[in-house]
Structure 1
C-alpha cells in the first residue's frame, strides 16, 4: 500500500473555447448541446449500475509514449496558469474562484481521468489540449493522441491572492489518492478513496481509480468547493462528494466533508474505508536511524485513536523488517488519524520541512458500527515511499453485492481537531538495552522510555509525588518501572524494562496514573527485537 502514486466534447463551439482559452464559460455552456444535467444522486446510480457489470480498465493512451514521461520529463510539463478555469483572468471572467489546473499524464499516472465542470446544474467535459501546457519542444508528450485526457487536478489559492499562480493547496492525482496542505502550508501524507486487499500474502493489492471528476463553480472563498468523483476498479465502484473548505485564513488548515456510496463487484478480503497513507523511515528510535545524517525522517510519527468508549490511544509508528498489520477493535470510534506531533525543526534539520507536515484526522459524521482501525506498516529503506497506511475495516465479510454508505470529515491541521483537555500526550518514545549502568546488561532485556507533556495536566502533580507507571505486556514480563520529571520542562518520563526472547513480539500498553485516575493517554506499541535499534 502507498508505494503506488498517481467523449472528447462534440460541440465545436465549446471545444474551441476550452482549447483556446480565453472564453466565457457560462455562455459557452449555454450554447453547447453536449452540456448535460448533473447531480450527485445520478452519479450514485451510475456507480451502482456499474457494479453489476464487468470491469473495463480505464483508457491508457500510447503506453509506449507515456512510459517515456519519467519524473524528470513529466516535471517539465506545466499547466499554463493564465488558462486556468475559475482564475478570473481576462477572457476567463465568469465565474472566478479557486483557479483550477490539470495534471498531465506521465509514467506514474498513465490512465485518462475525465474532467468535467459543473455550472448551473449542468456539466461539460474539458477536452485535453497540449496547448494548455508549457512543454519542451522535444517532450514525448507531443506524440500523444488528441483524446489522451488528464491525470488529475489541483486548486490554486483564491484568484485574488498574490501568490495564486504558484501556490496550490489540494491535489487529486493517481488512482484514488488526494492530499492537501495543512495549517503550516506544507504537503505531506495523502488520503485515498478506498483500499482493496492491502498487504495480503496470496493476492496483490488493487488500486481503484477516480475515473471522472465533476468540479462545481465557486463564488465565495469561505464556502466549500464541491467536487464529485466516480470510482471504478476490478472489485469495487463508488460515488464520492467532497465539500472542501479552504478559506482566506490559511492558519485554519483545510477541512473536507465527504459522502460516499461504495458498491462491491467482487468479494474483498480486506476492505479499507476512509484510508490514509504516509511515510515513516525513522524517528528518535528505529532500525535505520544511523543510515542518514538527519536525526528524524517521517511525514507522520504516530496513529491516534479516540475510541468509542472515550479512551485515547497513541501508537508510535514503525519501519519494520517485514510487513505488519495491527488491528484495534472498536465500535463507533469518535475518530482516528495519522499525526505529526513533533514540530521542532531541530529534530529533522531538513529544508523540506518535515516539522510542517500536516496531521490528518478522520471524524465520522455517522456511526461506523463495529469494526477495527487497522494500521499497516511496510519496510522501507528510503523516504520516497509511502509505507504507512491506516483505515477502517467494518465487521463482517465484504461480499459481492455489499454496499457501504459513509459520511465523514477529513481535517488537515497541525494537530488533531479535538484534543483531550484532561490528559497528557505522548511526545517521545525512546529505546535501548535494559539493566543498570556499570553492570553487565542482561540478555533479552530492553528499556523503553515514554515522555508525556501537557502543562495543564503535568504541572499539577504535587512536588515529591510520583505517578504510577501502569504498563502491561502480552508476552515476556515487565522487570522494573520508574516515573520521573524531565528537568527544565513540563515533561514526565515513564521508564520500564521488558524481558522478551528474540523470537517473540509483544503488544505493550502504558499510561501514567495518579490516585487511580489516568494522567495520560494510553501509549501502545508492538515491540520485537528485530524492529528496533538492536540489530547487530
Structure 2
C-alpha cells in the first residue's frame, strides 16, 4: 500500500467550509439489525466472486495525485453536524487509486438509508481544472471526527479508505500505521500472490447525543472469503475499537491473517544501512511486541531487510500483539514535517480464546518511505475449510504505549549494533527502561544465540535514564541467520521483557 494514500487522508483534513447543508440519506429505507451484515456476508460467500467494476467516469480515474489532494470535503456538509452530535462523518471523493466506490449507509431507528454521492459535497481546487462529470454510485471511503484533543473542535479520529484499510488516532497522535480487515496469503511463495480483501459497503449508526462511542459495520469481500465486521469506536488518550468479525470461506485459504497491522520502516538506530539522510531515523513503527498468556513478553526491533524476511512467533495462548513507535523523542527523527515521534502504536488484544497459532511478522525491503513494508498478523493453526466460517473478536487500541507497558516491567527502549572487538564479531547494545520494582544485587544479562558464540555479556545500571544497559558480542559461525534473545534478571527474578532479534551476517 503506497504511503501516498495516507497523505491523501491528511490532505483532505484541511477542507475549508462553504455554505451548504449536510448530505441526507435518501432512497428506500431498509430494516437493519445486528444480523443484517452477517447474513449479507453469508449469502455473498455462497456465490462465485465477482470483481467489482470500475465505478467512476474516466475523468475521475485520470486524476493525478496532486489533483486528488485538491478535492476536499466541505466541512459544513458533515453528517450529524446539524444535529450537534458528538461525532461527525465526512466522505472521500472517488477517483485516482479509488476507482471502485463503496456504498455508505446511515442507520437510525433500526432503518438504513444510503448516502448518495454528489459533487456538491466537495470543493475542487485549481489543480483539478474542469469539474469531473459522470455518474458515481458511492464514495472512496469515509472518516469520522470527534473532539479528541480540544473540547469543541472535531479532530479526525478514524478513516476507512482503500481495500480493507483503516487507521485511527489517540490523543496527541498523527497518522502513521494502518490496520486491515483481513490478510490473505501475505508473503507466501507460489502463484497468485497476496489477496487484498475489500470493504464493499458500510453502515454508520447515528450516535446518541452525549455518546462516547460510534459504531460502524462493514461488509468484506474477496475471491477467497467474505466477512461481516462491527467496530465500536471510543476516542480517548488511547482510542479503542471493539471489533467483532465473522469470516466465511469461499475456499480454504493457505494463510489466513487475522487483525493485520501495516506500517513503514525505512531505517533506524539498529538498521541504518546505506541511507544518506540528515534524519537519524525514519519509521512509523520501531518494533513488534508479542505477549503470551504464559506471561512471556517479546520485543522484536523492526528492520528493512535486503530480501523479504518472515518471522513467526508461535504460542498456545495469545495475550496480545502490536506494532509500536516506542521512541517518542523528536531528536531521534529531526523531521519537522513528518513528526514521526507522534505516530501511534496499535495493540491487538484477543477477546476470548483464539487457540493455538502464531504471530507472523513480514518485513519487506524498500528504498522509499512512501511504501508500507511491515505487516504483522495472527495466523490460527486450525484451518477454515471452504464453506465454513470463523468468528473472532478483539480489542484494537491506538495511541502512545497502547499495550499499557507503563503497568508492566522494564521494556526495550533502544537497540544499537556496531563492530565487535574481534574480527567478524558484532556488538549489540540494548537499553531497557526503568522497571516498577526495586531490588538489590547484581543484574545479569541472559543472552542466547541459535548458533555462533556469545562473548562478554554484561548488564549495568543506566545512570542517565534510571534503567539498564546490556551489551554483548556475537561471533557468527557461518552465513545463515542467527536468532538472538536477551533479558535481564536479578537472581531468580526476571526484570525485563525478552529482546528477540534475527541477525543475518
Return the TM-score normalized by structure 1: 0.86
1:413 matched to 2:407? The reply is no
Q: 2:170 aligns with which of 168, 177, 182?
A: 182
1:80 matched to 2:89? The reply is no
User: Would the aligned equivalents of 2:56 and 2:136 in 1 still touch at CA under 8 Å?
Assistant: no
Q: SS of the counterpart of 2:436?
A: helix
Distance apart, 1:5 and its partner CA: 5.0
Q: Which runs of 4+ in 1 moved over 6 A?
A: 1-4
Q: 2:107 aligns with which of 118, 141, 146?
A: 118
User: Would the aligned equivalents of 2:106 and 2:112 in 1 still touch at CA under 8 Å?
Assistant: yes
User: Would the aligned equivalents of 1:362 and 1:408 in 2 still touch at CA under 8 Å?
Assistant: yes
**Paired position in structure 2 for 1:342:** 327
Distance apart, 1:406 and its partner CA: 1.1
Q: Distance in 1 between matches of 2:273 and 2:388?
A: 42
Between 1:397-406 and 1:274-283, the stretch displaced more is 397-406
1:320 matched to 2:320? The reply is no
Which sections of structure 2, spanning at least 5 residues, go unmatched?
7-18
User: Would the aligned equivalents of 2:103 and 2:137 in 1 still touch at CA under 8 Å?
Assistant: no
Q: Provide Cα deviations, 1:257-277, integer angstroms capped at 9, x if missing partner.
A: 010100111221111001111
Cα pair distance change 1:137/1:4, threshold 3 Å: closer
- Give the alignment of 1:376-415 within 5 angstroms: 376-415=362-401
Give aligned pairs, total: 490
User: Would the aligned equivalents of 1:320 and 1:379 in 2 still touch at CA under 8 Å?
Assistant: yes
- Give the alignment of 1:109-508 within 5 angstroms: 109-136=98-125, 139=128, 142-158=131-147, 162-164=152-154, 167-202=155-190, 203-246=192-235, 250=236, 252-288=237-273, 290-351=275-336, 352-419=338-405, 421=407, 423-435=409-421, 441-443=422-424, 445-457=425-437, 460-462=438-440, 465-501=441-477, 503-508=479-484
Return the TM-score normalized by structure 2: 0.91
Q: Distance in 2 between matches of 1:24 and 1:201?
A: 46
Between 1:368-377 and 1:475-484, the stretch displaced more is 475-484
Which sections of structure 1, spanning at least 5 residues, go unmatched?
7-19, 436-440, 530-536
Q: 1:515 aligns with which of 491, 495, 498?
A: 491
Larger Rg: 1 or 2?
1
Q: SS of the counterpart of 2:176?
A: coil
Q: Provide Cα deviations, 1:136-192, integer angstroms capped at 9, x if missing partner.
A: 47737844422342100001225995433xx31110000000001122231111110
1:525 matched to 2:505? The reply is no
Q: SS of the counterpart of 1:72?
A: helix
Q: 1:38 aligns with which of 32, 37, 44?
A: 32
Q: Provide Cα deviations, 1:332-367, integer angstroms capped at 9, x if missing partner.
A: 211111111111111111122111111111111111
Q: SS of the counterpart of 1:292?
A: coil
Distance apart, 1:21 and its partner CA: 5.9
Cα pair distance change 1:2/1:238, threshold 3 Å: farther
Between 1:468-477 and 1:257-266, the stretch displaced more is 468-477
**Paired position in structure 2 for 1:13:** none
Q: SS of the counterpart of 2:35?
A: helix
Root-mean-square deviation (CA), in Å?
2.3
**Paired position in structure 2 for 1:15:** none
Q: Distance in 2 between matches of 1:142 and 1:328?
A: 51
